[in-house]
Amino acid sequence: MPGILLGDVFPNFEADTTAGRIKFHEFLGNSWGILFSHPRDFTPVCTTELACAAKIEQEFKKRGVKMIALSIDSVEDHKNWSKDVMAFNGNAGSPLPFPIIADDNRELSVQLGMLDPDEKDKDGLPLTARCVFVIGPDKKMKLSILYPATTGRNFDEILRAIDSLQLTAQKKVATPVDWKPGDKVMVIPSLSDAEAASLFPNGVTTKDLPSGKKYLRYTQP
Ligand code: BEZ
């Protein structure tokens, strides 16, 4: 099964997009990146997702994340579909603020392991799943989420996950369930108490547990 795993260097593929031909690594530069795939142009769920992504484009920009979408249709279809997407957003006439990759021959979708065998077009060919790939400035894959075509994504969760990825890339912490920026975080298990005390000047609090083990250590980053 082809596909990219966490920690793999993301392929430096070349592709045609609504912003011209790109080489992926050059497109990313030194930024973080997000690549999200769509089953097809001119489909309802995909339209709501792209519209949402366009609406919160500044949130990605603020975090230094370059956005790019992919669907298995042509550049021309993508350009026409983008007009629908922006009109759906109440912004008819404005350009979609990020490019869409054309993968009408499904080459990239196969290479990146994006095809959903359970979701087929009218010719019986598989469509792309709703993949979310977040790529770090080192070009390695930091997060991968895979939804089937029938389940639209939650972009608030994607931004929340990016906040966690960017924080945990800088500090030796992990973010607990439902964490949001500003909340306390957990000290990672591989740090000793002495190391944690010196790394986290805001202090470390430990929750008592029936096991007596001191592994639930919180700090304010
Ligand atoms: C959609 O985007 O609405 C969609 C695409 C393919 C299958 C099901 C839904």
Task: Give the CATH fold of the 171-219 domain.
Answer: Antioxidant, Horf6; Chain A, domain 2 (3.30.1020)
Q: Where are the domains of the chain?
A: 8-153, 171-219
Task: Give the CATH fold of the 8-153 domain.
Answer: Glutaredoxin (3.40.30)
- Model confidence at 221, pLDDT cuts 50, 70, 90, reads confident
Pairing between β-strand 32-38 and β-strand 65-71 as defined by DSSP bridges: parallel
42 C-alpha vs ligand 1 centroid, how far in Å?
A: 9
Mean pLDDT across the stretch 10-21? 98
Mean pLDDT across the stretch 199-214? 96
The structure's pTM equals: 0.96
Distance (Å) of CA 91 to CA 83, 87, 109, 124, 160? 9, 5, 30, 35, 26
Q: Which residue has a Cα nearest atom 1 of ligand 1? A: 45
**pLDDT at residue number 117:** 87
Pairing between β-strand 65-71 and β-strand 100-102 as defined by DSSP bridges: parallel
Mind listing the pLDDT tens digit for each residue in 49-64?
999 999 999 999 999 9
Cβ atoms within 10 Å of 61's Cβ, excluding its own: 14
* 46 catalytic residue (yes or no): yes
119 C-alpha vs ligand 1 centroid, how far in Å?
A: 9
The answer, yes or no, to whether any atom of ligand 1 lies below 6 A from the CB of 44, is: yes
Q: What atom of ligand 1 comes closest to residue 38's alpha carbon?
A: 2
DSSP H or E stretch at residue 166: helix 155-170
